[in-house]
Amino acid sequence: MLIKQLSVPKNNVTTISESATLQEAITLLEETGFRCVPVLDKSGRIFRGNIYKMHIYRHKANGGDMDLPVTHLLKNATKYVHINSSFFKIFFMIKDLPYITVLDENNNFYGILTHSTLIDLLQQSWSIDQGSYVLTIATPGERGDLANISKLINRYCSIMSCITLDVQRENMVRRTIMTLEPGISRKTVDEISKVLDRKGFKVVQVEDLHND
């Protein structure tokens, strides 16, 4: 389970009880430096939502009662995934959140998956640290384009990663971004570009991961 492996487990996560006051919550947030923390029920197992520093300060600035429970300003109560959820579900859930809450098989709070961890994973999948050059290739979006591009490039080197963009846009050129294996020379990259261009695939950008 990829989500479980990437998550910060409960015992390493700063949380607060639903019975805590807003004053207690802001004190915790100031001490830890977090902009928000998960709120759990009194048993410490059920996720209730998140409490944000910004919302508490706004409440206080408007003369709000700081002795109210944190549930008064609870947010993101339905923003969570399960450890066995599809990994792609995270991309639709996390967006502007600093983390997404992860629940176990029994719907109990398991931990969190942070936004920064997700970005690091994408960086690894792009092979930025190991690759040599990244090619951005414009394609007409026809069936078999990806297979044909891969076949042409594999005559010269291996492809370490591949990402296709613009797949949901109508009547627009799609962009395929490929990271090439290490040790490839610029001369080889230029040869690859010429071959792709002759076959109708335009290399619109070449990025040297180690010199640009």
Interval 58-82: pLDDT, tens? 999 999 999 999 999 999 999 999 9
Residue 142 shares a structural domain with residue 168 = yes
Range of the domain at 55: 2-120
**145 and 63 in one domain?**
no
Task: Return the structure tokens found at 165.
Answer: 């963009």
Phi and psi based region of residue 111 (left: phi greater than 0; alpha: psi -120 to 50; beta: remaining): left
Residues 108 and 31 in one domain: yes
Sign of CA dihedral 125, 183, 150, 191: positive
Q: State the pTM of this model.
A: 0.70
| Residues forming beta bridges with residue 175, ordered by sequence position | 138, 165
In this prediction, residue 34 carries a pLDDT of: 96
Together in a domain, 133 and 100 = no
